[in-house]
């Protein structure tokens, strides 16, 4: 029985109340419904969001991105092809979060910030040509870059195997 049907059964019946009513088609049986499935519409509430703060920072209670000062450096600033270098990230005003580090070859890495700092070690491909390269780091809506020079790899030493 539906809730509407149950409500009709509880109304007091008087002969004149239904005398003028038009005949209605017989109700078809339906599956029982619980009172929990019938709900009144709820009012909607909007929570204004400041558009300059990334959603992930609002949801996680992170610091306001507008106050972040992002700095990136590469050490050493001259790297031989085939060698590694460190990308140091400092996000002043941000305690935690994620930085996206993109190397010169276009590959990106996610790095967790702790205390607003992080370091990622990257390697220059052994066949990289000498020249200036750039690493890009993005934190929230801030982007910073650092450049370094790739220098030729060390020459390979050839050893004679006959003892000379």
Q: Tens digits of per-residue pLDDT, 32-79?
A: 554 444 544 444 333 333 334 444 444 444 444 458 899 999 999 999
Q: What is the pLDDT of residue 44?
A: 39
More confident residue, 24 or 53: 24
- Rounded mean pLDDT of 3-30? 51
On the question of pLDDT at 10 being above 70, the answer is no
Q: Tens digits of per-residue pLDDT, 103-117?
A: 999 999 999 999 999
Instruction: Return all residues near 84 (Cβ < 8 A) that are at least 6 apart.
Output: 121, 122, 123, 124
pTM to 2 decimal places: 0.56
Q: Answer for the pair 15, 24: CB distance below 8 angstroms, yes or no.
A: no
């Amino acid at each position: 029985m539906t809730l509407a049907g149950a409500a009709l059964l509880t109304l007091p019946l008087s002969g004149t109340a239904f005398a003028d009513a038009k005949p209605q088609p017989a109700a078809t049986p339906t599956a029982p419904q619980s009172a929990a499935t019938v709900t009144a519409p709820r009012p909607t509430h909007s929570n204004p969001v400041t558009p300059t703060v990334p959603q992930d920072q609002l949801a996680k209670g992170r610091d306001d991105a507008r106050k972040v000062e992002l700095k990136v450096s590469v050490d050493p600033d001259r790297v031989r092809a085939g060698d590694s270098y460190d990308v140091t990230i400092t996000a002043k005003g941000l305690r935690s979060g994620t930085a996206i580090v993109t190397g010169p070859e276009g590959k990106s890495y996610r790095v967790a910030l702790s205390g607003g700092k992080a370091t990622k070690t990257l390697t220059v491909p052994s066949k990289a040509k000498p020249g200036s390269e750039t690493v890009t780091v993005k934190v929230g809506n801030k982007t910073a870059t650092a450049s370094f020079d790739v220098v030729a790899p060390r020459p390979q030493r050839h050893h004679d195997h006959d003892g000379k």
